[in-house]
Amino acid sequence: MKIITTISGLRKELLRVRQRGEQIGFVPTMGYFHEGHLSLMRRAVSDNDVTVVSLFVNPLQFGPKEDLSRYPRDLKRDAAMAATTGVDILFAPSVTEMYPEPLATFVEVGKQGDVLCGAFRPGHFKGVATVVLKLLNIVLPGRMYLGQKDAQQVIVIKKMVRDLDLPVKIVVCPTLREADGLAMSSRNIFLSPTERMEARALSSALERARQDILRGETSARKIISKIKKLISVGTSATIEYIEMTDATDLMPVRRISGDVLVALAVRFSRARLIDNTIVRVK
Ligand code: AMP
């Protein structure tokens, strides 16, 4: 596996790949890898001739009071983990490599970036979409791999790809979980041992909600208040939001039908965690 830190170096390498007529798969990440990241890499390696993983903690998507400065970083560890999956290139640019001068041009993402996490992290999805568009223009992959864990990110990026006619196919991969159900996240290291135990309540409440919906519950309000109760009784976390939306456009749902997304975000003392489930109602 090659580690490349400059845009020109990566472009030079990938030009040769394209001239050979080979397919490029791309996995954008912020690093501090866990099995969730590795599952995206393995899928990309099996689908494509050459797989590129980017590792870039993008300042543009962090608010002024968020955890940019303490976001976990360990390039040596990440490189060793990525290499085990068969990834060909790890692209790890510096902030000045990606943003040599202040940007004047951004991707505006519209209402799908304003709800759920976007309501609590203003400008977050604009920062995500802008860096993903830059990375797509640098890598020019045929396929890009995203995790269902970040359901809103998937919807925002898919919409950008359609709106701007980007020549890339999005492949969405399932959320990988710890044995007790907690969704894997780079931020889980910030949980205290007690919080780590409590955090099981997030996935178990979502699973209960899924069961209730599949058994015929049609009131979004009832489902949401049950999740709220399970989390507020079972954890010390502050609930940021628990919402039910249409799974394709993120618009709020009252009476449950079709494909619905149940999504939540909570804050523990040092970690903000998100999780979600999509339920398909016949
Ligand atoms: P991040 O480094 O957190 O920005 O995540 C990079 C990519 O990995 C994104 O597409 C995430 O959705 C995906 N990802 C993060 N956690 C998981 C997980 N537990 N299971 C599957 N994919 C994940």
**pLDDT tens-place string over residues 143-167:** 999 999 999 999 999 999 999 999 9
pLDDT of 18 > 90? The answer is: yes
pLDDT, residue 282, reads 83
Instruction: Please tell me the distance between residue 31's alpha carbon and the centre of ligand 1 in angstroms.
Output: 9
Verify whether ligand 1 is closer than 6 Å to residue 55 (CB atom).
no
- DSSP string of 221-232? HHHHHHHHHHHH
Active site residue 37: yes
Closest CA to 82 of 24, 2, 154: 2
Report whether 145 contacts 18 (CB < 8 A). no
Q: Token match 């205290």: residue?
A: 192
**Residue 35 near residue 137 (C-beta atoms within 8 A):** no
d(CA 195, CA 103): 39
pLDDT of residue 71: 97
Give the global pTM: 0.98
As a whole number of angstroms, the distance between CA 13 and CA 155 comes to 31
36-80: per-residue pLDDT in tens?
999 999 999 999 999 999 999 999 999 999 999 999 999 999 999
The per-residue pLDDT for 141 is 98
Give the span between the Cα atoms of 263 and 243, in whole angstroms. Answer: 5
List 4, 37, 52, 141, catalytic entry: 37
List all residues 6 or more positions away from 213 whose beta carbon is below 8 Å from its beta carbon.
223, 256, 260, 262, 279, 281
- In the sheet with 2-4, reading across from the earlier edge strand, the strands are 2-4, 89-91, 50-55, 24-29, 143-147, 169-173
